[in-house]
Amino acid sequence: MPVTIKDVAKRLKLSVTTVSRALDGYDDVAAKTRERVIRVASEMGYAPSRAARQLRRQKTEAIGYIMPTIKPRFADPFFSEFIAGIGDEAASRNFDLVVSLAPPGEEAERAVYQRWVQGRRVDGIVLSRMRVNDWRVRYLSDSKFPFVAFGRTQLPIDFPHVGVDGESGMRELVAHLIERGHRRIAFVSAPADLTLQVDRMSGYRSGLAAGGIPVDESLIVEGNLTRDGGHHAAQQLLSLAKSPTAIIGANDLTAIGVMRAAHERGLIIGRDLAVAGFDGIESAEHTHPPLTTLNQPVYDIGRQLIHMLITVIEEGTLAERQIMLKPELLIRASTGG
């Protein structure tokens, strides 16, 4: 049984009040007493009970993140980057990070959010992989629960978030490919309910338009942001009668799957086929050849989001509520660079 504040008080022949106040740095306890308290408390290995403190203070000093992941596993390095970012920043502010996993859109997901919000499990929540019509935003906003998000929605709700301009990024990428001489540029998309899909797709389309190339719908096939999805889609694209000379993946994982399918057909990437992705995950540097991609600083965005969230939690308000970043086009050998 761990040592409580009462044990410390008894040992010091002081009241728990004084011990508590000494430890919390109030100035109504004599310097000498405070010293004694601090020394003895640490000698006894005292640390306040989180539960008791939370109950009394009505806050948890914890922030929550629910990974929108499909069972039975996920493996997108995007998430490790992101968790590293939010985890580092949270830790440095002495907040705990509580994570759970739930399949997006289903009942289970709703249950976790509700448990955390109603049960006051965390002080705030971080959202990612936003959907165009995202019930999480409606729910948290209705509940007046502090939250921030990586990405936007199409709801008429104003909330703090950091976004990456997928549209302009894609436009730039398409321009790059056109400039390299490509005319048949395919796109392996993400699930249609994701905001990132809407943005990136529209960038793809407007990029083609800007280059005077009509959109060929047969060159757009749906993936699911995984390697296998990209692999699958590419097989389909590459067996087309008029197959594409360039394929863009909605994210890097997709692009890596595309590269694999191309390899299997004996195509030399960068020469026979251009491939590009979106995200800038580290392993995209190490594919063969290295993958052209649109880099987004996921780690830093994570930190930034936590910073914003803690401000909202502590101040109740936030100056700069919406931040829009431009992804950086990294041209590498996979597009013949």
Residue recorded with tokens 């590009």: 276
Q: How far is the CB of 186 from a copy of itself (least distance, A)?
A: 19
- Residues 288 and 260 sit within 8 Å (Cβ to Cβ): no
- Residues 168 and 129 sit within 8 Å (Cβ to Cβ): no
Residue recorded with tokens 């730039």: 172
- Using CB under 8 A as the binding rule, whether residue 233 contacts a copy of itself is answered as no
**Run of H or E including 328:** strand 328-330
- Using CB under 7 A as the binding rule, whether residue 21 contacts DNA is answered as yes
Total residues belonging to the chain: 337
295 binds, among DNA, a copy of itself, none (CB under 5 to 8 A by kind): none
Residue 206 structure tokens: 């407007």
Contact pick of 58, 94, 158, 242 for DNA (by CB under 7 A): 58
Residue 81 structure tokens: 């980057």
| Range in contact with DNA (rule: CB under 7 A) among 5-13, 94-102, 234-242, 296-304 | 5-13
168 binds, among DNA, a copy of itself, none (CB under 5 to 8 A by kind): none
73 binds, among a copy of itself, DNA, none (CB under 5 to 8 A by kind): a copy of itself
Q: Which is nearer to DNA, 37 or 258 (CB)?
A: 37
Residue 15 structure tokens: 């009241």
- Residues 12 and 19 sit within 8 Å (Cβ to Cβ): yes
Which of positions 186-205 make contact with a copy of itself (CB under 8 A)?
A: none
Which of positions 135-174 make contact with a copy of itself (CB under 8 A)?
A: none
Q: Which is nearer to a copy of itself, 59 or 180 (CB)?
A: 59
Q: Which amino acid is at 291?
A: L
* Distance (Å, whole) CA 142 – CA 180: 49
- Using CB under 7 A as the binding rule, whether residue 23 contacts DNA is answered as yes
Burial of 334 (0-12, 13-18, 19+ CB in 10 A): buried
Q: Which amino acid is at 91?
A: A
* Distance (Å, whole) CA 113 – CA 93: 23
Contact pick of 39, 55, 181, 272 for DNA (by CB under 7 A): 55
- Residues 243 and 237 sit within 8 Å (Cβ to Cβ): yes
Pairing of strands 124-127, 62-68: parallel
* Distance (Å, whole) CA 261 – CA 240: 14
| Range in contact with DNA (rule: CB under 7 A) among 1-9, 227-235, 283-291, 313-321 | 1-9
Taking the mean position of all CA atoms in its chain, how far away is CA 161? Answer: 11
Angle at 163 between CA 162 and CA 166, to 5 degrees: 165
Q: Which is nearer to a copy of itself, 67 or 240 (CB)?
A: 67
Give SS3 for 290: coil
Which of positions 45-104 make contact with a copy of itself (CB under 8 A)?
A: 45-52, 54-55, 60, 62, 67, 69, 71-77, 79-81, 83-85, 87-88, 90-91, 96-102
| Range in contact with a copy of itself (rule: CB under 8 A) among 7-15, 166-174, 243-251, 255-263 | 255-263
Q: Which is nearer to a copy of itself, 14 or 62 (CB)?
A: 62
Residues in contact with a copy of itself by the rule CB under 8 A: 2-3, 45-52, 54-55, 60, 62, 67, 69, 71-77, 79-81, 83-85, 87-88, 90-91, 96-102, 112, 114-115, 118-121, 227, 256-257, 259-260, 263, 282-283, 286-289, 299
Contact set with DNA (CB under 7 A) = 1, 4-6, 13-18, 20-21, 23-24, 28-31, 33, 46, 48-49, 51-53, 55-58
